[in-house]
Amino acid sequence: MLLADVAAASTAVAATRSRLAKRAVLVDVLRRAAADGPQDVAIVSRYLGGELRQRRTGLGWRSLTSLPEPADTPSLTAADVDAAFAAMAELAGPGSAGARTAAAAELFGAATQDEQRLLRGLVTGELRQGALDALLLDAVAEAAGVPAGAVRRAAMLAGETEAVAVAALAAPTPEAATEALDAFTLTVGRPVRPMLAQSAPDVATALAGLAQGDAPAGEVVVDTKLDGIRIQVHRDGDDVRVYTRSLDDITARVPEIVAAVRLLPAQRLVLDGEALTLDDAGRPRPFQETASRSATRDAELAGSASLTPFFFDVLHVDGRDLLDAPLRERLAVLDQVAAPHVVDRVVTADPAVAAEHFRAVVAAGQEGVVVKAYDAPYEAGRRGAAWVKVKPRHTLDLVVLAVEWGSGRRAGTLSNIHLGARDPAGGFVMLGKTFKGMTDEMLAWQTERFLALAQSREPWGVVVRPEQVVEIAFDGLQRSTRYPGGLALRFARVLRYRDDKPASEADTIDAVRALAAG
């Protein structure tokens, strides 16, 4: 199949907001790819989902700043493009950057304007066609004539979409496709997409969200939420593999987790949990230390810092699949097979008990809690309503120092605001930026407001007179080398603009430092 066919489909998908219309376009091109063979289905399904088949190519947005003019006529096949990126992914060592740039120039030079747009989107991971993996799975189902649920489940269990698309579309009949999809089962050693949580502002709201209609939630699990990295651990005897949330295999980087899992009583296991670094007293170290330890490839270099695994779910044990078992059953098994590496929890129907657990774990330095429906199955890959996270929230009244022009649907509006705390000695100390929490109405208002406050216009936005106070919510403070105060906000978002408060009454950097000191 020609890349031009894929690019035309992507353009058509981007041109409509209707998901049904997007799906129809995807179905058409998937069917044509299937007629060309499984290799084309593999490539085309990846590209339509917004990804390259290579996890890392060494190319990013910066590498694409100067590229040749587009070709007038299409010539590239999907297979050509995949081979070109595969070759780039292999490049390493001195001179590789130049060779990669040359290879990219050759590829993009052979691509038409439409094809360049597609390739650029795939390289940067920002295709912006309004359809990614989820809609693609729906399209695969329709193209193969099978229920969407069957395709989705296969993809969750496979941990990827490409193989599922290939299997479903290679089948000559819907019956054969169903059979092919049923062959994707939970397999020890092959990661599944992790179940995700929704969020709620407090424990009471989380419990209300789990209630069925007018009936109260009944017994729920209140799990401790640890501030580390998500891990999915597969054990088959002495063979232990550790995967991240994005299903990256980090086994080689975390020998201490492998060793801990080998000490557990069950021989075949799939566990879901979190890994983090602890201090001598067993309290969690800052997330940045966990991130550093888990990103260091050479375990020898990591020194004394060590990751401790804690598990909150079990998906398989010694031949028994537990994905569809209620959480109640899974936890009973977890306590048998994963002690002492089990997340601390309470089971209760009493909102007061749940709230007390939240208070206690936060006091112990943990991130918060995850409230879970006691009888829900493990919904791989879903951000289902069965898990609801609750974290403490801090707020500050900060001053807007500058604003950046937005992109995409925010093009033409001033979007990303720079935030400063008041320095009692004079001026403001920048603590970070945020674009979150803004409605379209707020974006329109702030565009006008900050243009009026503009002191200077820059290519990226405007620097403003420091007069507008904004109430900011955030999860905590972290060490920063980027900002002058040595501190940065974590997960900052706008709550509201405060027109009742002058900048002279904004929160001070001293108050922020006091908060950081705990």
Partner DNA sequence: TTCCGACAGTGGGGTCGCAAT
Partner DNA sequence: ATTGCGACCCCACTATCGGAA
The annotated binding site for ATP is made up of 223, 230, 245, 274, 312, 383, 389
Tell me which residues in 179-218 interact with DNA (CB under 7 A): 199
Tell me which residues in 249-308 interact with DNA (CB under 7 A): 250, 287-288, 291-292, 294-298, 301
Listed as own residue / partner, the contacts of 210-217 with beta carbons closer than 8 Å and 24 or more positions apart are 210/371, 210/372, 210/373, 210/385, 210/386, 210/388, 216/349, 217/349, 217/373
Helices 174-182 and 162-170, axial angle in degrees (round to 10): 140
C-alpha to C-alpha distance for 3 and 464, rounded to whole angstroms: 46
Listed as own residue / partner, the contacts of 163-167 with beta carbons closer than 8 Å and 24 or more positions apart are 164/137, 164/140, 165/30, 165/41, 165/42, 165/45, 165/136, 165/140, 166/38, 166/41, 166/42, 166/45
Closer CB to DNA, 187 or 478, in the complex: 478
178 touches DNA (CB under 7 A): no
Rounded least distance, CB 259 to DNA, Å: 20
> Structure tokens of 495?
């709550």
Q: Which of 98, 109, 149, 427 binds DNA (CB under 7 A)?
A: 98
Tell me which residues in 353-392 interact with DNA (CB under 7 A): 382-385, 389, 391
Closer CB to DNA, 80 or 483, in the complex: 483
309 touches DNA (CB under 7 A): no
Closer CB to DNA, 50 or 466, in the complex: 50
Q: Which of 68, 218, 326, 437 binds DNA (CB under 7 A)?
A: 437
Q: Which of 115, 162, 475, 507 binds DNA (CB under 7 A)?
A: 475
> HSE of 151 in the Cβ direction (CA atoms, 13 Å)?
27
77 touches DNA (CB under 7 A): no
Q: String of b and e for 209-246 (b: at least 16 CB within 10 Å)? A: bbeeeeeebeebbbbbbbbbbebbbbbeeeebbbbbee
Rounded least distance, CB 406 to DNA, Å: 4
17 touches DNA (CB under 7 A): yes
434 touches DNA (CB under 7 A): yes
Of the ranges 17-25, 108-116, 316-324, 395-403, which one interacts with DNA (CB under 7 A)?
17-25
Closer CB to DNA, 253 or 357, in the complex: 253
C-alpha to C-alpha distance for 400 and 396, rounded to whole angstroms: 12
128 touches DNA (CB under 7 A): yes
Backbone angles phi, psi at 62, to 5 degrees: -70, -35
Q: Name the one residue in this structure whose structure tokens are 């407090």.
A: 202
Closer CB to DNA, 20 or 263, in the complex: 20
C-alpha to C-alpha distance for 103 and 63, rounded to whole angstroms: 11
372 belongs to the catalytic site: no
458 touches DNA (CB under 7 A): no
Cβ partners under 8 Å of residue 387, min gap 6? 195, 196, 197, 198, 370, 371, 372, 373, 376
230 touches DNA (CB under 7 A): yes
Closer CB to DNA, 317 or 370, in the complex: 370
Rounded least distance, CB 338 to DNA, Å: 18
Size of the site for DNA (CB under 7 A): 91
**Contact indicator for 476, 287 with CB cutoff of 8 Å:** no
395 touches DNA (CB under 7 A): no
Of the ranges 337-345, 352-360, 450-458, 478-486, which one interacts with DNA (CB under 7 A)?
478-486
435 touches DNA (CB under 7 A): yes
Which residues fall in the annotated binding site? 223, 230, 245, 274, 312, 383, 389
416 touches DNA (CB under 7 A): yes
> Please, what sign has the CA dihedral across residues 396, 399, 404, 409?
positive
DSSP code string of 59-117: --GGGGSS-PPPPSS---BHHHHHHHHHHHHH--STTHHHHHHHHHHHHHHTS-HHHHH
Rounded least distance, CB 478 to DNA, Å: 5
State the catalytic residue, choosing from 22, 225, 391, 433: 225
**Closest CA relative to residue 471, chosen from 393, 392, 391, 399:** 399
Rounded least distance, CB 168 to DNA, Å: 17
60 touches DNA (CB under 7 A): yes
Closer CB to DNA, 39 or 296, in the complex: 296
Tell me which residues in 498-517 interact with DNA (CB under 7 A): none
> HSE of 82 in the Cβ direction (CA atoms, 13 Å)?
18
59 touches DNA (CB under 7 A): yes
Positions marked active-site: 225
